[in-house]
Amino acid sequence: MKKTREDQLWDYAEGRLSGPEKAELEQWLEADPRNRKQLEELSVLSHALSSMEPEVPSMRFTARVMEAWDQELAFRASPLQTRTDKRIVYGVAAFLGGALLFTLGLLFVFSGGSALFSGGSGSPVEERWLSGISSSLGSLFEGLGHYFIGLIALLLMLLVERYVHYRQYIRSVE
């Protein structure tokens, strides 16, 4: 891998460059005074950086950082990499359960469900109106309802599977 010119200058300023790279860089430096000036600036900066004493963090800070890093590694090593909030899981489950009940109710009422209102208890206008709704919307909800129930059942299974994995993940971390 070929180094960039700036990397070569840094290596030259710190005395780590040798061989053909060093000869090539020296030719480049002699070609233009601006190149030599750039090397001098890097040399001054390199000397200033090497003369500085590194700051050592306190033991308390180091311990806190290492503890946080261990927790981060534990989360990364787990099979489930996302953290799921229980409220989200329960909210989605409640929504899907409500949608399933709503769909089952629509199927029961509109797929020949006018028997619910028969028996002479309702007025003839009401029975005619309900049977009209049942005949026009019944076929639509009957076909669509089965697909919707299947979709909701699939989503509920995925939700339960996700929740089980989440519980296993929590137990493995604790």
Between 173 and 155, the more confident residue is 155
Could you say which DSSP state residue 79 is in? S
Interval 31-69: pLDDT, tens? 888 988 988 988 888 888 888 888 888 889 889 999 998
**pTM above threshold 0.75:** no
What residue spans define the domains of the chain?
A: 5-51, 80-173
> What is the reported pLDDT for 64?
92
What are the C-alpha distances in Å from 42 to residues 13, 20, 51?
Answer: 7, 21, 14
At residue 131, the pLDDT reads: 57
Give the tens place of pLDDT for each residue, 92-132.
888 888 888 887 777 777 665 544 445 545 555 445 555 55
